[in-house]
Structure 1
Amino acid sequence: MAARRGDARAARPVKPLLALFDVDGTLFLTHDPLSSEALLETLREVYPADPADDAVERVDHAGQTAKRNARLVLRAEGLDDRAIDAQLDAWCGCFAERYVELLAGADTSGWEATPGASEALERLAAAGIRLALLTGNPETMARARMERLGLERFFPPGQGAFGCDAESRVDLIDLARARAGGWPADATVELGDTRRDEESARAAGIRAIHVDARRFEAVADRLLDWAER
């Protein structure tokens, strides 16, 4: 049987490349109401605010970090940035903990990883591309999701950057590069599905690949093309 195109390419030498993967809409396709539930419950516990159940949907939340979404919701509730900042780190830890508690009792049998993601990540890892998560999710939340989806083995601990680490996605990119030993910007790529993913990559001086969930293998091909140049 003829070798797949990806099999042949994975054997070629590639230059070191750091690939930073978003989670929601990139590796994980299922709408997850547990996230908003945990976010709102913990905002009500930590802050003098009582946001409505649809408060997250009312703000510009797509592609944002956990801390940024909290700020947007709390501003809409009338809190100023000084009051928000005073408890933001503590809130984010509570949010992550509450999400994991909710997830422990949830039926996630219907959760869907992006079709072809596991196979594509296998190809990239075999080619020597360094893989890490770059997401607005808190780390425990992101890794719990990857575990449920069977993708956790591709993303080693101590690497990547997460939504409680910083509010700005640009800062997350800088942190992920630092955690990879000061990985050069010109050898770093962010992979995501939103406009913010691409904008933050440009602002951080790295490249970006827009992920089409229907064509994840094509995303891997493009990344390997860059690595072989």
Structure 2
Amino acid sequence: MFQDRPVIAFDLDGTLVDTAPDLLNTLDHVLSAHGIAPVDREEARPMIGGGARLLIVRALNRSGVVVSPDELDTLNRQFLDHYAAHIADASRPFPGLDAALDRLQARGAVLAVCTNKLEYLARLLLDGLEMTSRFAAITGADTYGIAKPNPLPLLSTITACGGNAGRAVMVGDSGTDIATAQAAGIPSVAVSFGYTETPAAELGANRLIHHFADLETALDDLLSSTGS
């Protein structure tokens, strides 16, 4: 068993769930409706992680398309509406996740989600995948009115779980997640299978894993060094 029930806070897109298929299908749908060519999937995948609006902006920039703020607002609304209706069509947990979460919960860890996805979309996705009940807290970019890498969302999520920064770990796939953990003063684990443009090994995380089978060992190392 873990001592003192540590909080393990996870990013969502690219960390817990491979959401790229539904996000990029939605992006293609919205761009096509406005006569804009879709972005190559391999180029678009690393653009995920900053929320819908930023994904659209990155895609437009990659295509060399300039739109007005009002047009961008329209694209964003259309994206959110379509995505909400198709949020779990093809999105699936990454391999080994369910077993890893089972092991952590059996040892007394408290699990949470801290994402830059809007909270209602995060909950909708986790509901669709029947995962919501696993998490003591699910927070998004709008929950506290500020997004990662500001440390407030992560620290507030940990507090909402009844924990504190001295016995918590952040698990994520991007520089934003690792920077958030560093700003919050907690250790971090980076996964190598997410959506970052920067190689995961270069993000500055305390540990790097390539499969969820390795998560428990990484957490044991980090939590033992912090006395949790």
Q: Normalised by the size of structure 1, how large is the TM-score?
A: 0.66
Percent identity of equivalent pairs: 23
d(CA) in 1 for partners of 2:53, 2:106:
34
> Which residue of structure 1 aligns with residue 190 of structure 2?
210
Greater share of strand residues, 1 or 2? 2
Aligned-partner residue type, residue 24 of structure 2 = S
Greater share of helix residues, 1 or 2? 1
Of 168, 171, 175, which residue of structure 2 is paired with 1:188? 168
| 2:48 maps to 1:26 | no
| 2:37 maps to 1:52 | yes
Q: Does the 8 Å CA contact 2:158/2:168 hold for their aligned counterparts?
A: no
**Looking at CA atoms only, which structure, 1 or 2, has the larger radius of gyration?**
1
d(CA) in 1 for partners of 2:37, 2:180:
29
Number of matched pairs: 203
Q: Does the 8 Å CA contact 2:9/2:158 hold for their aligned counterparts?
A: no
SS in 1 for 2:218: helix
d(CA) in 1 for partners of 2:36, 2:118:
21
d(CA) in 2 for partners of 1:78, 1:212:
33
Unaligned runs of at least 5 residues, structure 2? 194-209
SS in 2 for 1:210: strand
> Which residue of structure 1 aligns with residue 155 of structure 2?
177
Aligned-partner residue type, residue 159 of structure 2 = G
Q: Does the 8 Å CA contact 1:191/1:208 hold for their aligned counterparts?
A: yes
Q: Does the 8 Å CA contact 2:6/2:168 hold for their aligned counterparts?
A: yes
Aligned-partner residue type, residue 54 of structure 1 = V
Aligned-partner residue type, residue 144 of structure 1 = L
> Which residue of structure 2 aligns with residue 35 of structure 1?
23
Superposed, 1:160-175 pairs within 5 Å as 160-165=138-143, 168-171=147-150, 173-175=151-153
The alpha carbon displacement at 1:43 in A equals 7.9
Unaligned runs of at least 5 residues, structure 1? 1-9
> Which residue of structure 2 aligns with residue 78 of structure 1?
66
SS in 1 for 2:95: coil
Aligned-partner residue type, residue 52 of structure 1 = A
d(CA) in 2 for partners of 1:164, 1:61:
20
> Which residue of structure 1 aligns with residue 120 of structure 2?
140
Q: Deviations over 1:13-33 (max 9, x none)?
A: 51342211122332223641x
Q: Deviations over 1:82-133 (max 9, x none)?
A: x37x959x946x64442121347x4x4xx54222211211222233322111
Q: Does the 8 Å CA contact 1:26/1:211 hold for their aligned counterparts?
A: yes
SS in 2 for 1:23: coil
Q: Larger relative contact order (C-alpha < 8 A, sep ≥ 6)?
A: 1
RMSD: 3.8
Q: Does the 8 Å CA contact 2:9/2:168 hold for their aligned counterparts?
A: yes
d(CA) in 2 for partners of 1:210, 1:189:
11
d(CA) in 2 for partners of 1:36, 1:126:
35
The alpha carbon displacement at 1:62 in A equals 4.2
Q: Does the 8 Å CA contact 1:16/1:227 hold for their aligned counterparts?
A: no
